[in-house]
Amino acid sequence: MSNKNNLLKWILIALFVAWFFFAVASYFVVYKPFSPLLLVQLTEFEWLPLGNSWSALSGAILDLLVAVWLGIMGLGVGLWIWDFLTQKRTGIKGEEAQKDVLERALFGFGLGFGAVGLLVLLVGVLGWLNSAVLTTMAIILTLVGLPKLVRLRLSWSRPSRPIIIFLVTIILLALTLAMLPPTGWDGLFYHLKGPKLYLAVGQIYGGVDIPHLNFPSLFQMWFLLAMGIRGDVAAQLIHILFLFSLGGMVFAFATEHFRLPNGWTAVLFLFATPMVPLLSTWSYNDLGLAFFSTGMVYAFLKWEKLTQWHRQPQIADPTGERNAGLRWLVASGVFAGLAMSMKYTSIVGPGMLGLLLLWRLRHDWRAGLKLGGVFGGTAVLILSPWLIKNWAFTGNPVYPFLFGGQYWDEFRAAGYANAGSGIGFDLLALLRLPYDLTLGIRDASQDGRTGALFLAFLPLIIYYAFWQKRTADFSGEEEQSTSVRNAFSTVGLVSLGYYLFWTAGVIESKGLWQTRLLLPMFTLLCPVLAWVFAAIREFDHPQFSLRRFLNMGLAFVLVLSTLNMVWEWIPAQPWAYLSGTETREAHLMRRLGPHFAAMQEINAQLPSDAVVKFFWEPRSYYCDVDCRPDSILDAFDHLVYRYGDASSIAAALRAEGVTHVLIWQDGLDFIIESPESAVEVDTAVLASLQTNYLEPAFTVTDGSYLVFTLR
The domains located in the chain, with CATH, are 3-569 (no CATH), 593-710 (3.40.50)
Q: Please spell the DSSP secondary structure of 586-602, one letter per residue.
A: HHHHHHHTHHHHHHHHH
Rounded CA-CA distance 162/559 in Å is 11
Mean pLDDT of 473-491: 71
The vertex-285 CA angle with 144 and 132, nearest 5°, equals 40
pLDDT, position 472: 53
Rounded CA-CA distance 613/189 in Å is 14
Least confident of 211-225, 312-326, 650-664: 312-326
pLDDT, position 306: 85
Q: Is the pLDDT of residue 36 over 80?
A: no
Q: Name the average pLDDT for the chain.
A: 90
Rounded CA-CA distance 446/515 in Å is 8
Q: Is the pLDDT of residue 246 over 80?
A: yes
At 338-388, the pLDDT tens digits run 999 999 999 999 999 999 999 988 888 888 899 999 999 999 999 999 999
Q: Please spell the DSSP secondary structure of 525-587, one letter per residue.
A: HHHHHHHHHHHGGGG-BTTB-HHHHHHHHHHHHHHHHHHHHHHHHGGG-HHHHHTTSS-HHHH
Select the more confidently predicted residue: 9 or 423.
Answer: 423
Split at pLDDT 50, 70, 90, the class of 99 is: very low
User: Which residue(s) pair with 710 in the sheet?
Assistant: 694
- At residue 43, what is the residue type? T
* Dihedral, CA of residue 652, residue 653, residue 655 and residue 656, to nearest 10: 120
Rounded CA-CA distance 123/106 in Å is 26
Percentage of residues of the chain with pLDDT beyond 90: 73
Rounded CA-CA distance 333/584 in Å is 43
Split at pLDDT 50, 70, 90, the class of 468 is: low
Buried-exposed string 247-279: b where 16+ CB fall within 10 A, e elsewhere: bbbbbbbbbbbbbbebbbbbbbbbbbbbbbbbb
